[in-house]
A and B are shown apart, each in its own frame.
Chain A
Amino acid sequence: MSTSRIFSQYSKLPPIRKPHNNNDTKRLSLECSEGQVTALFDLYKNDEDCIDEEGIVKFCNDLGVKPDDFIVLVLAWKFNAELMGRFTRTEFVSGCKAIQAHSIKWIQSKFPLLLAEVQNRQTFKEFYRWSYKFCLTVEPGQRTLSTEVAIQMWTIVFSQREPPILPRWFRFLERHESIRGIPKDTWDMFLPFTEQVRLDLTNYDESEAWPSLLDDFVEYESDLHNQNVQMQE
């Protein structure tokens, strides 16, 4: 039996139509907002067709935030910014598209959404790790973040949800001038450290693969604790 005979019994089916997906209108709206985004970019750009630090200050001002606010860092992350203190045209435009905002007001309205997004543990981890590399770009050719800058970055990055251990960590870093900067691995591992190690550090195992700076920190803290206990006794 040939297939045609079977199918011949059926009358011709109506053609399949894709659901009307507003492509046209969307395209229109996109174009319209792209134009707005470009216009927005032009407000802040400099002679070299980039938003530089000065421009960023203005941008933040208009957004009602400070340049070292957490949300600005998140924005930079969302925009996939390559260098700290600069937004290229591509970065800015595609970034705004990504968050679906085309004006100051719109961007502001997206803030809660962005903040919520970055609360997710996995997302935060990516964001956290990215911020180290991003921060390094301030000084080209630098491989390690200085302790001072690292502390500032940590303050910003953890401003929404500060791990309780943070102040003691900072105290440790500040009291030990011999520490020569924070390598990437130590930065990266600090996050799981805050998540997995108890506040009293009792479940810390220094034979595990924690970076040695964290070993030193735990040792320092336990020495302090012992001294205090001795004094109290």
Chain B
Amino acid sequence: MSMNKGKKETNKMRIRAFPMTMDQKYVDNIWALLKNAIQEIQKKNNSGLSFEELYRNAYTMVLHKHGEKLYTGLREVVTDHLVNKIREDVVESLNNNFLQTLNSAWNDHQTSMVMIRDILMHMDRVYVQQNTVDNVYNLGLMIFRDQVTRYPNIRDHLQQTLLDMVARERKGEVVDRGAVKNACQMLMVLGIESRTVYEEDFERPFLDQSGEFYRRESQKFLEENSASVYINKVEARINEEAERARHYLDNSTEDPIVKVLEDELISKHMKTIVEMENSGVVHMLKHNKTEDLACMYKLFIRVPQGLKTMCDCISAYLREEGKALVQDEGSKNAITYIQSLLDLKDRFDHFLHQSFSEDRQFKQMVSGDFEFFINLNQKSPEYLSLFVDDKLKKGVKGMSEQEIENVLDKCMVLFRFLQEKDVFERYYKQHLAKRLLLNKSVSDDSEKNMISKLKTECGCQFTSKLEGMFKDMTVSTSTMDEFKGHLQTSGTNLHGVDLFVRVLTTGFWPTQSATPKCNIPTAPRMAFEAFRRFYLAKHSGRQLSLQPQLGSADLNATFFGTKKDDVDASGASSAPKGGPRKHIIQVSTFQMCVLMLFNNRDKWTYEEMKSETDIPEKDLMRAVQSLALGKMTQRILVKEPKTKEIESDHTLVVNDQFTSKLFRVKIQTVAAKGESEPERKETRSKVDEDRKHEIEAAIVRIMKARKKLQHNILIAEVTEQLKVRFLPSPVVIKKRIEGLIEREYLARTPEDRKIYTYVA
């Protein structure tokens, strides 16, 4: 018989069916043949079979519409084999080589089913399609699944065996990974188009067991009582489980099992680990354990709230440290205060970089904490300005230009945290003025550099006045040149006084409350008058007032007394050496007034000095202290009686015994580094005054633009506009609004008292 292999019929040709009919006997015969073949295959005796013949027979059956018989028969044969032979074998092996037996049964089944499917391929294509039943291979799978794998005994035992093996491996034993992998693959395949079989029969109980196991593990780890050990162990276990899933369970189990670990080992014990005494986060921070912190970070980032738990703990510690720094009064000066804050910031920047990979949440926490404690101390703005002042002065030891630049950049970071930036501005102005006037700046460039940094932070308003100060300095220099020219051409005699005047525009420079009084001695006073005439001739309509609290003088001094000689061996003092000693003494204006008194008279009481010079008590005291009570190399005057205090009736004379190695002697003024308390109060009240004006200006500005605005929105906008300088409280803003209503800049709308209008 020739056979047409199932060619698809073309449109033009029609192949007529064989004229043969099939009788029942013939069909039974074919079936018997096939059945036998299938059984042989199942017995692994397929070598003697002819694929072609079997295929043809199956094809014939289906062709003659006996597909159903074939299908049903197939099901019977397979079921019979699996139930009566295979299952028996597996059950027998329950306690002996179970997994091996099951696995080889499964492998055999797969192999034979492939072959069977090949033979019955035509039925798959035609009968199965037409009747929407399962295809041969899947049918085989289902029967294997239901009759073998999920046969209650076998199913339970399989589960138990697999779980057991995992448990043993966790304990460190070596197990037959291949067998487990095979079994898992079998379960996956048996799910046919889903993973439900794997999931139900293995994965779910596996996850439950794992949960249990790691619950106990976590307790064990915790008992070790070391956070560092704990997290390292956790990391190891997570890696182990992930690898296990990838290697011999199913890949898809990796995520769920890792999640179980994260849950049991991390989430449930986050706080405990973080807060562990002597080993937790605080300990790690104190002892700079960047690696442990990095490990913890990598772990905790996996779980919800993990990072937050860490953040909270770190934040609390940082705030404690910061608070301690800023509230430690008395023992610190401004420089060490700011330096310690910079050091703290450096420490935490280091952690951010090394351990927390610049995580934004952590960065924000650090910034927030710094902002919190730096503003706890009201003197922070003043101290920061003093620190910057120190770095911009001449004679900064041991720092290259680049290093100074870096430090100033770090200072700007601290500056951003300040809430009362306007207080900083006020002090910065004062300190800058001192630097400029006393010629203490290291360079104009570094000053301007710092100012441009401030400008970037705060805008022009902050820095425009500072720039005005620089301008005054330049203009003064050229004014002095003109003055010198004028002196020559007009032949004015300054009587030996070499005058240098700096003219300061009032608005730019920090003002004193009132210019202190002072009687300037004749010679310098006349010289100044000459300048004043010259200046006012050029700029009529201006007013000049001398500021005696600023300025300095170089005085030629002659000391007539004997030097305190080394006593020679005989104990007799030798004759006075040389003639009178000359020095140039550099003093403040006030000190000049005091010293020049001694040109008129040899002896002065403190009281007499006061009335003659008219200098305010506080300034006079400071001036005389630095002249009479300093180091020997600074003692220009001698006081009787030789006490530490200066009373009104004490007398002062020139110290003719004065000596110094230097020709040019600079007298230091006894000055406080920071402000004294009354001065600080005064500064603060000035700041408050300024703030009132700034708030009102902001209110008027906003209302002018918006014409009509609700109370709460107005408060919010004012706060927003001013917050770069300071943080106004709603209460204070409200009072300013009332003031403006009173002065009729604003009014309430008649319909709604909560809405204001701008009164043009």
Contacts and interface: CB of A to CB of B under 8 A. Distances in A.
Nearest to B743: A143
A185 B738 contact: yes
A208 B741 contact: no
Contact of B753 (A143, A144, A209, A212): A209
Nearest to A196: B753
Interface residues of B, number: 14
Nearest to B711: A209
Interface in A183-216: 183-186, 188-189, 192, 207-209, 211-212, 215
Nearest to B756: A209
Contacts of B753: 189, 192, 209
Contact of A215 (B711, B731, B737, B741): B731
Contacts of B742: 143-144, 183-185
Interface in A137-194: 143-144, 183-186, 188-189, 192
Contacts of A207: 712, 730
B711 A211 contact: no
Nearest to A125: B750
30 contacts: A143-B742, A144-B742, A183-B738, A183-B741, A183-B742, A184-B741, A184-B742, A185-B741, A185-B742, A186-B738, A188-B748, A189-B748, A189-B753, A192-B753, A207-B730, A208-B711, A208-B712, A208-B754, A209-B711, A209-B734, A209-B737, A209-B748, A209-B753, A209-B756, A212-B731, A212-B734, A212-B735, A212-B738, A215-B731, A215-B734
Nearest to B730: A207
Chain B binding site: helix, strand, loop or mixed by DSSP? helix
A183 to B, nearest CB: 5
Contacts of B754: 208-209
Contact of A211 (B712, B738, B756): B738
Looking at A143, A188, A192, A207, the one whose CB has the most chain B CB atoms below 10 A away is: A207
Contacts of A192: 753
Interface in B479-528: none
Contacts of B711: 208-209
The 6 closest A-B pairs by CB, nearest first: A209-B711, A209-B754, A185-B741, A183-B742, A212-B735, A212-B734
A81 B676 CA distance: 59
Nearest to B734: A212
B106 to A, nearest CB: 75
A4 B556 CA distance: 121
Nearest to B746: A185
B739 to A, nearest CB: 9
B734 to A, nearest CB: 5
Looking at A209, A211, A215, the one whose CB has the most chain B CB atoms below 10 A away is: A209
Contacts of B737: 209
Given A209-B748, A212-B731, 5 more contacts: A183-B738, A183-B741, A185-B741, A209-B737, A209-B756
Interface string B704-745: 000000011000000000000000001100110110011000
Nearest to B712: A207
B731 A185 contact: no
Nearest to B740: A185
A129 to B, nearest CB: 10
Contacts of B741: 183-185
Contacts of A186: 738
A114 B222 CA distance: 87
Looking at A144, A189, A192, A212, the one whose CB has the most chain B CB atoms below 10 A away is: A212
Interface string A29-48: 00000000000000000000
A133 to B, nearest CB: 13
Contacts of B734: 209, 212, 215
Contacts of A183: 738, 741-742
Contacts of A212: 731, 734-735, 738
A188 B731 CA distance: 20
A185 B730 contact: no
Contacts of A208: 711-712, 754
A185 B748 contact: yes
A185 B754 CA distance: 12
A37 B188 CA distance: 114
Contacts of A184: 741-742
Interface in B460-483: none
Contacts of B738: 183, 185-186, 211-212
Looking at B730, B742, B753, the one whose CB has the most chain A CB atoms below 10 A away is: B753
A188 B738 CA distance: 12
Nearest to A189: B753
B735 to A, nearest CB: 5
Interface in A210-224: 211-212, 215
B732 to A, nearest CB: 9
A87 B734 CA distance: 39
B624 to A, nearest CB: 43
A183 B742 CA distance: 7
A212 B734 CA distance: 7
A128 to B, nearest CB: 14
Contacts of A189: 748, 753
